[in-house]
Amino acid sequence: MAGETTKTEAICLDIRPWSRTSHVVRWMTPDGPVTTVVKGAVRPKSAFLGQYDLNYTCEIVYYSRAKGELHALRECSPLSTRENLRSNYRALVLAEHMRAQVAALAPHGSESESWHTTLADALDSLCAGAADSPRRLVAALLGFELEILSLSGLSPEVEAEAGSFSLRGERQMPISQEVAHCIDDPKAEKNMQILLDAARAIGVFYAFHLDSAPEARRTVLRMISNNEEGTGKQDGKD
C-alpha cells in the first residue's frame, strides 16, 4: 500500500539509468515485480555501491508510493551475488532470457511467490553447474520455460505415443517420440539434437500462446548451444 515501508527478498531483474547519478531498478519479489528508484546510486560515497547487480538476490527496503508507480529504495544488501555467472557468457545470456520472461509474465499477489522461487532456483542451478556445457544450458532453458508455462496454466499437452502436442484450439504440432520424451524430462536427455528440436518445438508453443519475441529467443538458443549455423554442433564439451 502507498505510504508503507516494505522489507522483502528480491532478485534484480533490470537496471536502467534514471539520471546522471541514479538508477531505476526492477526487482522480482515474492509479491510480484517491483520497480524502485535508487537515488544517488553511482555517487562515490553512495551506500548502494556494490549492493546490487543483475542476477543478485538482495534484501531490500523500499517506501511504497502508489500502486504501479516507482517506489523509493531505502536499503539494499546482497544475499546471493551468483558470482559464478560472471565467468560464463552463455550462462549470462540464458540468465538474461530467464529474467526477461519473469519480468514480462509474472503476476502480482500470492501467485508471485512461485515465480520468484522458480527464477531463484534456475539462476542458482546455472551457478551450480547447469551452465558447464551447451547441452546442459539448452536443457536448463527447456526446463525453465516449461516451468513458466506451467505457472501460466499453459503446459503443452504432449502425446508421446502419437508424437504430437496441442497448440491453440484443436491444432496439433507433430513431434517425434524422442522429442516428446525430452519435453517430459529435459535434464535426462543426452542427445543435443533432440534437445534443440524440443527447444524449437517449445518456441512454436510460446509464439502461439504467449506474448514473446521469437527472434530474440532464437538468438538466445543459438548462443547457448554454440549453434551459429543451426546444425546442432557443439564446441567439444558435453
> Residue 166: its pLDDT value, please?
61
- In one-letter notation, the amino acid at residue 224 is I
Q: How far is 158 from 170, CA to CA, in rounded Å?
A: 13
Residue range 185-219, pLDDT digits in tens: 999 999 999 999 999 989 888 887 776 678 889 99
Query: Residue 100 and residue 97: Cα distance in Å, rounded?
Result: 5
41-66 pLDDT, tens digit each: 999 999 999 999 999 999 999 998 76
Residue 169: is its pLDDT beyond 60?
A: no
pTM: 0.88
Where in the chain are the domains?
A: 5-83, 87-225
For residues 88-111, give the mean pLDDT: 93
Band of the pLDDT at 177, cuts 50, 70, 90?
confident
Q: Each residue of 113-131: pLDDT tens digit?
A: 999 999 999 999 999 988 8
- What is the CATH superfamily name and number for domain 5-83? Nucleic acid-binding proteins (2.40.50.140)
